[in-house]
Amino acid sequence: MPAKFMKTPGSVEPRRTAARRTPAAPLAAIGVLLLSGSAAPGATYSTSDVSITIGSDGKVTSILDLTTGVERIKTTIPVYQVHLVSIRTGGEFVAPTGYSLSGNVLTYTFGSVTPAPVVSVQVNTYARYMRFKVTSVTNGGAIEELRFVQLATRDSLDRSAERLMRYNDGGHQRYLGLYQLDEYTQTIIGPAGAGGYLHADVDPALPLCPGFVGRGVALFACDIDLPAVRDVLELVEQGEGLPLGTPVKRLPTLKRSTIFWANFHYNDRQRMLEIAHAVGAGHMLIFRDMWADVQHQYAPLAMWGSYANIKAWVDQCNAEGILVGAHTLPTYLANNSSVYILPGVDPRIRRDRSITLAADLPANQTDGLIQTTTSPAGWPTGEYERDIVIGQELIQYTSLKTSPPYGFLGPFIRAKNQTGAGGLGPQDHATGAAIERLVNTAEGTAYQLGLANGGTAEQIAQVAAAVKQAGFNYVYADGMEEIEPPFGYTTGLILSMYYKALVDAGAQLDYFESSANTMGYSWPLVSVWGQMDYYLQNDTFKREVDRNVPHMSRDPGNPDPRQLGWAPMCHPSFGQTSTDELEYLLARSAAYGVPIVVHMWAWNIDGWLNRDANFALMKKYEEVRLAGVLPAAERELAKTLGRDFMLFSGEDGSHHLLPVQLLNVGDNAASVRGYLSSTPVDGRRYATLWPLQPGGNASVRLMGVNPQDIVVRDYAGNLVSVAAPSPGQVRIPLASRVYIRLSAAPDVAQLFADAIVE
């Protein structure tokens, strides 16, 4: 939220101020201050779960939870009760001086400002929620911020997803929530001491905000369990005609896992589909640079030749039961764009800092100082954060000089990405020119487009048209964690713009996904949530899984489903994902009952050690998870972080997700990796082994057991024949992963420690 949203405690009544004339206020308008004459009648509005009473002075005198009978109002003392509506003007919130009621329309007059702003709010009640909507505003130019629903409560516990406040009514936990009904309305919810506040807020200074009229919010109460929240949100979304929403989140297809593909060639497209079948995935998400030429504004990538060729492949995938999604970056522009960078930096690219050139800068200067009138202290110096524009020329500086003479130090890259054919090239710049910083992505591959200046809207329209022509089944809007702040406002706004552009373009989408900064803000637009970049350069794969798992918490602001991802398989910079690392991820997927998103680099995947066994493992987890056959107690235990769990199948067709311990396998452990179930199931222990060297015909000889004591199956479930070199010994071939069920062994761990790897 913007900082100013946090400065005014919601439980404090805005103070009344003396009459103040705004700069453009005509003196003759002072007469509107007299609207506060006779008292209006009180009014109570109710759903099946909650009622709210507005007193004769326009203050909220009761917020009653009708299920538990508990009064939520902060105080019954009238002087401390708050008005339903307040405004910020002159930098501070002020209370109304007049109030009237006509039917279901509440009208508030703010006579401390001249001419007096007048705000009307309509209240409509339905079975499970009530809608508050701003229907008219006069002298809106004097309003810097409007709170058209302002509630102060007592005994709140905490907030959830910026729209729900939690209460404990004698052991019965309940929510009181506000749900924004348009992308311009913000909900501000939070605890304040032993109380809490819930606000519906509109700030006209935020980008593209069309004003106050039409802004709406839904007020509701419900139990805190996920089905109850989901049900009431669905009623709100359906009743108010909001796009996508909870019905889409319940689509069966969203329970399926996804391969996020990068680095495959057109001739490999059939192979990509075959791998999707092999791992049991329901979706393939295609990395933006694999389908779109972003240097030329989402033209079809050369390897496809045309969007029609992409669509033909998507249609083939659909015919075989696989959905194909388009990874997109709708708010970013490629930093080597042939249209918006090469011939001159387009004004619609976002700038977040500006300073003035203090001395002429000739086109041939590539080192020294670009002098500025004031200090550039605080300007970024990170690797991808030093791109500035003067006029239309893009320049990269090296460091800052924050003592006189101030400026940017070289060496400089002049006309960065602007020196090719048709490029702008280095330019002369005169004293007094503006120096502005362009906002890069974290990887330095693109620039952020401006929201208010139309850059984002233009890019979104281009992307939507490309998605439509390519026939993708869904889109993934990436980069939402790096969009223009304030995130609480811009995330929902940008996703709404994108959705509307896709509809206008005629795209036939099954659903819509987005990256971070979505929890609690994007209202009904994002269908799946939980993806997270894995920073393998800083930590291990398993610890990155542990960092991803908290995203699976049941946040009622974003009902099911969730995803675990993006987990890299065979990262080109950090090497192969081991079999036990893969299963560590899959076990959490099964524990939480959620699909995964695995990021695969096609050029690396065929060299993956035990590749086919890993593919089969992914498919088996997918099938078992979707079938819901794992025992609940095993799933709950498998949520334990930092501990390995693996999937084993009994001869009776049962499946178990069991804690395991790493095995010391013989005298050549570098060649074999193995795990043993920590506890028996039906009196039997399970173990699994796989080779750590590609190719070859390794085997493991166990001493102290006979062939009738064990059952060995390969990763596909086929029985593996074991040899008996001599009585009391078995030799297990180890071409790939095997699963072993032991019915007689006093010390299984020692059995494998004494084994011979051959």
Those residues whose C-beta lies under 8 Å from the C-beta of residue 706, and which sit 6 or more positions away, are: 724, 727, 728, 730
Long-range residue pairs from 206-211, CB within 8 A, at least 24 positions apart, any chain: 206/2, 206/486, 206/489, 206/490, 207/451, 207/452, 207/484, 207/489, 207/490, 207/493, 208/451, 208/452, 208/493, 209/184, 210/184, 211/137, 211/140
Q: What's the pLDDT score for residue 10?
A: 36
> How far lies 377's CA from each of 354, 400, 406, 408, 720, in Å?
12, 7, 9, 10, 69
By three-state DSSP, how is residue 512 classified? strand
Q: What's the pLDDT score for residue 529?
A: 77
Query: Which one-letter DSSP state was computed for residue 577?
Result: P
Please, are residues 159 and 189 in contact by the beta-carbon 8 Å criterion?
A: yes
pLDDT tens track for 262-294: 999 999 999 999 999 999 999 999 999 999 999
pLDDT tens track for 390-405: 999 999 999 999 999 9
pTM score > 0.95 for this model?
no
Those residues whose C-beta lies under 8 Å from the C-beta of residue 354, and which sit 6 or more positions away, are: 434, 435, 436, 437
**Ramachandran bin of 432, using left for φ above 0, alpha for ψ from -120 to 50, beta for the remaining angles:** left
Task: Give all strands of the β-sheet with 399-401 in edge-to-edge order.
Answer: 369-371, 407-409, 399-401
Domains of the chain by range and CATH? 3-242 (2.70.98), 253-331+451-627 (3.20.20.70), 351-439 (no CATH), 644-757 (2.60.40)
Q: Chunked in runs of 10, what are the mean pLDDT values of the chain (758 residues)?
A: 28 39 30 41 95 97 98 91 97 97 97 97 98 98 98 91 90 95 92 84 95 98 91 94 88 95 94 98 97 95 97 98 97 95 97 98 98 98 96 98 98 97 97 97 91 95 98 94 87 93 96 72 78 85 93 69 89 93 97 95 92 98 97 96 95 94 84 92 90 85 91 96 92 95 82 92
Q: What's the pLDDT score for residue 22?
A: 35
